[in-house]
Structure 1
Amino acid sequence: MRSDRHRKKRRWKKIFVLFLFILGGVIGYSYFQYKQGVNQSLKKLDGEREEEQMVYKFEGKKDQYGGTNILLLGSDARGKEKSRADTIMIAHYNEDKGTFKLTSIMRDSYVDIPGRGKHKINSAFAYGGPELMRQTIKKNFDIDLQYYAIVNFQGFVHLIDEAFPNGVEIDVEKKMSKNIDVTLEPGLQRLNGEQLLGYVRFRQDAVGDFGRVERQQKAVKAIGEQLSSIQTIAKLPKLVGVLTPYVNTNMDTSDMIFIGKDFFSGNRGTVETLRIPVEDGFTETRVKGEGFILKLDLEKNKQALHEFITK
Structure 2
Amino acid sequence: MRSERHKGKKKRRWRSILLVFLLLVCAGIGYSYFQYKQGVNQSLKKMDQNPSKVVYSFEGQKDQYGDTNILMLGSDARGKEKSRSDTIMIAHFNEDKGTFKLTSIMRDSYLEIPGHGKHKINAAFALGGPELMRQTIKQNFDIDLQYYAIVDFQGFVQLIDEAFPNGVEIDVEKEMKKNIGVKLEPGLQRLNGKQLLGYVRFRHDAMSDFGRVERQQKTIKAIKDQLSGLQTIAKLPKLIGVVSPYVNTNMKTSDVLFMAKDFLSEKRGTIDTFRIPVENSFTEPRVQGEGLVLDIDVEKNKEALHQFITK
TM-score bucket (shorter structure): over 0.9
For residue 10 of structure 1, report the CA deviation from its aligned partner.
1.1
Report whether the alignment pairs 1:270 with 2:270.
yes
Report whether the alignment pairs 1:23 with 2:25.
yes
Mapped to 2, the partners of 1:63 and 1:145 lie a distance apart of 7
Report whether the alignment pairs 1:130 with 2:144.
no
**Map 1:4-83 → 2, pairs under 5 A:** 4-45=6-47, 47-50=48-51, 52-80=52-80, 82-83=82-83
| Higher deviation after alignment, 294-303 or 202-211 | 294-303
| 1:162 aligned partner, one-letter code | E
Gaps of at least 5 residues in structure 1 are none
| Higher deviation after alignment, 280-289 or 132-141 | 280-289
| 1:95 aligned partner | 95
For residue 123 of structure 1, report the CA deviation from its aligned partner.
0.3
For residue 80 of structure 1, report the CA deviation from its aligned partner.
2.7
2:43–2:242: 8 Å Cα contact kept in structure 1?
Answer: yes
2:81–2:125: 8 Å Cα contact kept in structure 1?
Answer: no
Seq. identity, %: 74
Could you give the per-residue CA deviations for residues 141-184 of structure 1, whole angstroms, max 9, x where no partner exists?
00000000000000000000000000000000000000000000
| 1:166 aligned partner, one-letter code | N
Mapped to 1, the partners of 2:154 and 2:64 lie a distance apart of 34
For residue 222 of structure 1, report the CA deviation from its aligned partner.
0.2
Partner SS state of residue 150, structure 1: strand
Mapped to 2, the partners of 1:89 and 1:81 lie a distance apart of 18
RMSD, matched Cα = 0.9
| 2:149 aligned partner | 149
| 1:207 aligned partner | 207
For residue 253 of structure 1, report the CA deviation from its aligned partner.
0.5
| 2:283 aligned partner, one-letter code | T
Say how many residue pairs are matched.
309
For residue 58 of structure 1, report the CA deviation from its aligned partner.
0.5
Partner SS state of residue 245, structure 2: helix
| 1:105 aligned partner | 105
| 2:157 aligned partner, one-letter code | V
For residue 4 of structure 1, report the CA deviation from its aligned partner.
2.3
| 2:25 aligned partner, one-letter code | L
TM-score (ref. length: structure 2) = 0.98
Could you give the per-residue CA deviations for residues 84-104 of structure 1, whole angstroms, max 9, x where no partner exists?
100000000011121110000
Could you give the per-residue CA deviations for residues 252-310 of structure 1, whole angstroms, max 9, x where no partner exists?
10010000000111111110000000111111111111110111111111011111111
Q: Structure 1 residues 234, 259: closer, same or farther in 2, change over 3 A?
A: same
| 1:234 aligned partner | 234
**Map 1:267-306 → 2, pairs under 5 A:** 267-306=267-306
| 2:112 aligned partner, one-letter code | D
| 2:136 aligned partner, one-letter code | T
For residue 115 of structure 1, report the CA deviation from its aligned partner.
0.4
Mapped to 1, the partners of 2:6 and 2:302 lie a distance apart of 65
| 1:158 aligned partner | 158
Q: Structure 1 residues 275, 12: closer, same or farther in 2, change over 3 A?
A: same
Mapped to 1, the partners of 2:79 and 2:218 lie a distance apart of 30
Mapped to 1, the partners of 2:56 and 2:126 lie a distance apart of 13
2:54–2:81: 8 Å Cα contact kept in structure 1?
Answer: no
Could you give the per-residue CA deviations for residues 109-135 of structure 1, whole angstroms, max 9, x where no partner exists?
010000000000000000000000000
Mapped to 2, the partners of 1:308 and 1:192 lie a distance apart of 32
